[in-house]
Amino acid sequence: MSKDIVLECQSLSKHYKDGKQIVNVFESIDFTLHKGEACAIVGASGSGKTTLLNLLAGLDLATSGEVKLANVSWASLKDSKRAMMRNKDMGFVYQFHHLLPEFTALENIMMPMWIAGVAKSVAIEQGKQLLAQVGLAERGNHKPAQLSGGERQRVAIARALANKPACVLMDEPTGNLDETTSQEIQKLINELKISHNMAFLVVTHDEKMLGWMDSAFRLSKGQLQPIPEKVESMHDE
């Protein structure tokens, strides 16, 4: 149903000028992400996955077409309003965790709440709850250097959930992890999607992640095409 749409784009195109040449990254892409849905976009390196993610996040503007978050067009907002909306309604997880090394795991999770003006006592309580949800209740006082790669990515995921966003965008969230840890992170994403009824969009080259997704698309030659038959869901085994 349309009321459940969290993120959408219509006729989205992105072109770059390279000297006298016009480079078409992608052309006339339509995409919709619903509340409680986990969706993957896969594609080879250089296919434009990160460019598309930046457009969906309002970090860049399209050549033509429109992107809406919670039915608000990014193009209708000034830079400051876009930044405020991103902090409130979007969470981000990257291949590299981007945790602040001088702060503890709990403080890193609290950071988006502080920026949003949440009271310190409330941020501490919510941060501890998020740590528990990602299986790190006893690691809140540890700094990133004291955590394993998988633990750091769990903290990054908890931080992405800090302001209870409408959706979480993930760019290669398992790209820097070994296979066992990657599977643990994939399972965690699925558990959080269900418990928070939140939308997750995962951009990845790792097609093993498709087993955890409700829907999947392939970005290739400037076109976004649905993948009709995903690998059998690992969480149904």
What pLDDT, on the 0 to 100 scale, is given for residue 121?
92
Residue 234 lies in a domain: no
Residue 154 has pLDDT above 70, yes or no: yes
What pLDDT, on the 0 to 100 scale, is given for residue 59?
87
- What is the four-CA torsion angle of 188, 218, 68, 57, rounded to 10 degrees? 60
Domain that holds residue 55: 38-61+74-228
- Say if pTM beats, i.e. exceeds, 0.75: yes
Residue 179 lies in a domain: yes
Residue 18 lies in a domain: no
Residue 26 lies in a domain: no
Residue 221 lies in a domain: yes
pLDDT tens across 41-79, in order?
988 777 778 888 888 998 888 888 999 998 899 989 898
Q: Beta 5-18 vs 64-69: how paired, if at all?
A: antiparallel
Q: Are 7 and 56 in contact (CB under 8 A)?
A: yes
pLDDT tens across 20-41, in order?
888 888 888 899 999 999 999 9
What pLDDT, on the 0 to 100 scale, is given for residue 150?
84
What letter represents residue 152's amino acid? Answer: R
Residue 67 lies in a domain: no
Residue 174 lies in a domain: yes
Average per-residue pLDDT for the chain: 85
Distance CA 178, CA 222 (A): 30
Residue 66 lies in a domain: no
Q: Are 209 and 188 in contact (CB under 8 A)?
A: no
Residue 237 has pLDDT above 50, yes or no: no
pLDDT tens across 87-129, in order?
888 888 877 668 899 999 999 999 888 888 889 999 999 999 8
CA 8-204-195 angle, to 5 degrees, is 65
What pLDDT, on the 0 to 100 scale, is given for residue 168?
92
What's the total number of domains in the chain? Answer: 1
- What is the four-CA torsion angle of 11, 85, 15, 23, rounded to 10 degrees? -120
Give the domain CATH number at 163.
3.40.50.300
